[in-house]
Amino acid sequence: MRLIAAAAGIVAAVWSFSALADDKPCYGMPALSVDAGVAPTLAIVKPGDRARFVKGGEQAGCPSPSAGCATRAFVVGGDAVVVSATAGEYACATFTSPGKAVSTSGFLPRAQLGAPSTEAPVNASTAWAGTWSSGDEQTITIRPKPDGRIVIKGDATWGGHDPERVKRGAVNAGNLSAEVSIADGIAAFTDDGDGATKPFDLKLPDDSGVCRVKLWRLGPYLVAADNLGCGGMNVTFTGVYRKTE
């Protein structure tokens, strides 16, 4: 089952994203340490032919319309994707499926996407509530509070799909915890592990022990970006999440 996005609450926007060099791959949402100014937005696939994801800089000459750049993954008219950057006539986009919340990232032809859309900021705490997943190694649970703030709990792992790592107990893990307000459809915070939520500020000296996170609510998605400081090596909460509970 694919999402058919409602038009209500969507207003047209221009393509104004950070640009990826033509020789760079698209891995979806970048971590905050890679692109501190990332501002993801929602785009809806136009009716018509399938929009097929294509490879980027991981293969010479891509992204391009050539058959060698095409992948088997695709989206269809009405699907919502999260766009994080552009490269020429292509957009670096992520689609996360309902159900198992499996994410697919890659370049999509901009001609097959409607103009990037910006919802009215989703500030109601109840609209953030639920359990959100990006695959089976990233989960964020959000509970609304009567005062409009939200309580956030997150768990992520890396290496959980490697039987040998699991056997050795070598799966890296991370977690986050925060109680924050929502402003302009964004929840941002610093979790330094002492039990108190602190303001988000990337200008502070970076430290692997300090976890900084930004969350956005876009269409059917919860989008997250962190500074790679929220857990063990390679652990990140960065991703595009679907509600699973």
- pLDDT tens for 149-176 read 999 999 999 888 888 888 788 889 999 9
| pLDDT, mean over the chain | 86
What pLDDT is stored for residue 116 in this prediction? 75
- Which of 119, 152, 167 corresponds to the end of one domain? 119
The full 3-state SS of the chain, as one line of letters, equals: CCCCCCCCCEEECCCCCCECCCCCCCCCCCCCCCCCCCCCEEEEECCCCCEEEECCCCCCCCCCCCHHHEEEEEECCCCEEEEEEEECCEEEEEEECCCCCCEEEEEEEHHHECCCEEECCCCCHHHHCEEEECCCCEEEEEEECCCCCEEEEEEEEECCCCHHHHHHCCCEEEEEEEEECCECCEEEEEECCCCCEECCCCCCCCCCCCEEEEEEEECCEEEEEECCCCECCCCCCCEEEEECC
Domain range for 180 is 125-243
> Which residue among 119, 149, 181 closes a domain?
119
The string of pLDDT tens digits covering residues 201-242 is 766 555 556 889 999 999 999 999 999 889 888 999 999 999
Residues 143 and 222 in one domain: yes
pLDDT of residue 2: 37
pLDDT band at 199 (very low <50, low <70, confident <90, very high): confident
Domain annotation covers residue 4: no
0.95 exceeded by the pTM?
no
| Residue 220 lies inside a defined structural domain of this protein | yes
Note whether 17 and 48 are same-domain residues: yes
- Number of domains forming the structure of the chain: 2
Q: Are residues 150 and 202 in the same domain?
A: yes
Whether residue 109 is found in the same domain as residue 129:
no
Specify whether 105 is located in the same domain as 171.
Answer: no
Contact in structure between 1 and 76 (CB atoms under 8 Å): no
Quick: pLDDT tens for 96-153. Answer: 999 999 999 999 999 999 987 767 889 999 999 999 999 999 999 999 999 999 999 9
Name the nearest CA neighbour of 107 among 121, 93, 96: 93
Rounded to 5 degrees, φ, ψ at 109 are: -60, 125
Q: Give residue 24's identity as a one-letter amino acid code.
A: K
Which of 102, 119, 136 represents a domain boundary (last residue)? 119
Q: Is residue 3 part of a domain?
A: no
